[in-house]
C-alpha cells in the first residue's frame, strides 16, 4: 500500500457475464485496487449463465492487470452486510470509490407482486444502496473545498412495467445517490447514477435482442464494456465535474 493507493468497492460481481465484472476489470486497468462483492445464491436463483469459479476468475484477471483484489461474498438484503463490506475493503487502504451494480430483479406486476418480493427488492436495491453510501462516507475525511475525496456510481433502470418492485426500488436508488452528491459535498464526493439501457448479460432471448437493437438508434445492443467505459471516466480526474446526475449511456435507446 502506498500514499497514492486507490481502493474501490464494487458490488454485483458474481458472474463473468455481467456489467459488474466489466467495471471491475476497467477499474483494475486504471490502477484501482478492488474489493469485489458477490452473492452466488441470487445468481443461482435467477438461473443466468454462470460458473462456480466466476468470482475468483474475475479477481484473477484483475490481479493480472496489477490490482490488489479481495473477494467478499455477502447478501445485501442483510442490513449488516454493507458496513461489513466497507470494513473489509479498508484492509486494502482508504476506500475512495464505490460502484453499486448489485440488484434484486424478479419480474412481477401490480397484481402479482408479493409483499415479500417487494420488501426484498427495496432491501437490496434501495436500503443497501443507502447503507453502502453511509458506510463509505463515514470513513471519508472532510476535504478542502473543491477537492475530490470519493466517487460513487450506481446502476439504475427504467424497466418498471411487469417488473414493478425492481423499477420502483431503482427509482428510490436514483434519489439516494443524487442526494449523496449534495449531502456529502464536504467529503468531496462525486455521486452519479448510470442507466445503461438493455445489456445482454444472459437474460435476453433472440426476440428481445432484435427488439432492443431496433429500438437503439446507434444500431446495436449495448455491451457491459460500454457501461464500464463511462464509469471509468466518472472515476477519472477528467470526469470530476459530473456530479449528482442520472446519466443515460444507451446508444439512444428509447421505448415506444
Rg of the chain, C-alpha, whole Å = 17
C-alpha distance from residue 29 to each of 23, 34, 111 (Å): 10, 11, 45
Sorted by where each starts, the structural domains of the chain and their CATH numbers stand as: 6-248 (3.40.50.720)
* pTM exceeds 0.85, yes or no: yes
C-alpha cell at 256: 415506444
Measured over the CA atoms of residue 70, residue 73, residue 74 and residue 80, the dihedral's sign is negative
Q: Do 155 and 109 form a contact (C-beta atoms < 8 A)?
A: no
Spatial CB neighbours of 238, under 8 Å, sequence gap ≥ 6:
none
Q: What is the pLDDT of residues 162-213, one digit of tens each?
A: 999 999 999 999 999 999 999 999 999 999 999 998 888 777 788 888 888 8
Q: Do 29 and 65 form a contact (C-beta atoms < 8 A)?
A: yes
Q: How confident is the model at residue 122 (pLDDT cuts 50, 70, 90)?
A: very high
Neighbours of 148 (CB within 10 A): 17
First to last CA, the chain: 51
For residues 214 and 94, the model is more confident at: 94
Q: Do 58 and 25 form a contact (C-beta atoms < 8 A)?
A: yes
Q: What is the pLDDT of residues 60-112, one digit of tens each?
A: 999 999 999 999 999 999 999 999 999 999 999 999 999 999 999 999 999 99
Mean pLDDT of 147-155: 97
| pLDDT for residue 219 | 85
Report the chain's mean pLDDT, rounded to a whole number: 94
- What interhelical angle do 128-138 and 164-183 show, nearest 10? 20
Q: Tell me the sheet residues that pair with 3.
A: none
Q: Do 156 and 199 form a contact (C-beta atoms < 8 A)?
A: no
CA distance linking residue 227 with residue 12, whole number of Å? 14
Amino acid at each position: 500500500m502506498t500514499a497514492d493507493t486507490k481502493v474501490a468497492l464494487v458490488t454485483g460481481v458474481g458472474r463473468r457475464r455481467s456489467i459488474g465484472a466489466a467495471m471491475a476489470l476497467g477499474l483494475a486497468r486504471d490502477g484501482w485496487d478492488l474489493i469485489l462483492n458477490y452473492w452466488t445464491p441470487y445468481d443461482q436463483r435467477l438461473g443466468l449463465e454462470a460458473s462456480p469459479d466466476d468470482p475468483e476468475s474475475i479477481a484473477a484477471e484483475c490481479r493480472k492487470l496489477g490490482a490488489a483484489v479481495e473477494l467478499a461474498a455477502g447478501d445485501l438484503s442483510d442490513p449488516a452486510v454493507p458496513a461489513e463490506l466497507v470494513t473489509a475493503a479498508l484492509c486494502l487502504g482508504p476506500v475512495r470509490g464505490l460502484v453499486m451494480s448489485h440488484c434484486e430483479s424478479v419480474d412481477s406486476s401490480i397484481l402479482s407482486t408479493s409483499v415479500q418480493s417487494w420488501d426484498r427488492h427495496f432491501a437490496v436495491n434501495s436500503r443497501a444502496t443507502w447503507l453502502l453510501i453511509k458506510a463509505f462516507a463515514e470513513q471519508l475525511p472532510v476535504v478542502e473545498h473543491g477537492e475530490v475525496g470519493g466517487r460513487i456510481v450506481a446502476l439504475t433502470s427504467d424497466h418498471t412495467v411487469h417488473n414493478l418492485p425492481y423499477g420502483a426500488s431503482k427509482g428510490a436508488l436514483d434519489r439516494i445517490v443524487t442526494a449523496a452528491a449534495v449531502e456529502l459535498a464536504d467529503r468531496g464526493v462525486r455521486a452519479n447514477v448510470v442507466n445503461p439501457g438493455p445489456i445482454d448479460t444472459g437474460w435476453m432471448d433472440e426476440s428481445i435482442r432484435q427488439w432492443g437493437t431496433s429500438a437503439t438508434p446507434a444500431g446495436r445492443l449495448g455491451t457491459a464494456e460500454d457501461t464500464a467505459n463511462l464509469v471509468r471516466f466518472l472515476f477519472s480526474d477528467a470526469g470530476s465535474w459530473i456530479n449528482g446526475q442520472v446519466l443515460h449511456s444507451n446508444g439512444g435507446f428509447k421505448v415506444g
